[in-house]
Amino acid sequence: MSTELQNKTIAFLVAPEGVEQVELTDPWQAVHDAGGTPRLLSTGAERVQAFNHLDKADTFPVHQQVADADPADYDALVLPGGVANPDFLRTDSDAVAFTKAFFDARKPVAAICHGPWTLVEAGVVRDRTLTSWPSLRTDIENASGHWVDEEVFVCPGGPNVLITSRKPDDLPAFDKALITEFAKGPKG
C-alpha cells in the first residue's frame, strides 16, 4: 500500500440506486490502496444498489447521509457514474449543495461517465473543460463548459482541480489522475 493519500478522507457520493458498480469500486480501491479513507455518502438509504450497466449488482453500506455530512470533513469528492445515479443526485438539493461546497472550498473533485450531471446542476462547469459520457456534451456546453473527448481530463482552471473521464474503460487513467491530484489537496 502506498501513502499518497494518508490522512485524507475521500467522499464518494451516490444515489440509493443506479451507480455503475465498477465506477464506484475501482476508484474506491485506488483511494484505499493509496492510503486514503474512502467514505460512501448517499441521499437516503443505509445501503446503495449498484448496477453493471442495466443489471443489478452488489449493494454497499452507506457511511453517512449527505444531508448530515459536512464537506469540511472530507479532502476530496468522487462522483461515480451510471445513468440513473447522477440523474437522481442532481434532483437532490443536499447532494447538489454538498458538491458545490467542494468547489467553494477549492477542494479537488473527480467525476466519471454521467457523473458530471451533478456538476452541471451545481453550476460549477462554467468556463471549465471536462469530459464525460458523450451524451452529456450538450448539457455541459449549455452550462457554458467546454467538452472534450479524452480518456481523462484534469482541469486546473477555476476554484479547484476537476478530474473527469468518459467511461469504465478509462478507469486506469482516471484513478491515476485522481490519486495524483487528491494528494496535492485543495488549490491554494
Q: Residues with catalytic annotation?
A: 113-114
Task: Record the cell numbers describing residue 173, joined without a space.
Answer: 487513467
Per-residue DSSP letters for 38-82? Answer: EEEEESS-SEEEEEETTEEEEEEE-SEEGGG--GGG-SEEEE---
Task: Record the cell numbers describing residue 76, joined without a space.
Answer: 476530496
SS3 162: strand
- For residue 30, which of 46, 48, 12 has the smallest C-alpha distance? 12
Do β-strands 17-20 and 47-52 pair in parallel, antiparallel, or remain unpaired? parallel
Residue 184's H or E segment, with its range, is: helix 171-184
Number of neighbours of residue 133 by Cβ within 10 angstroms: 19
SS3 150: coil
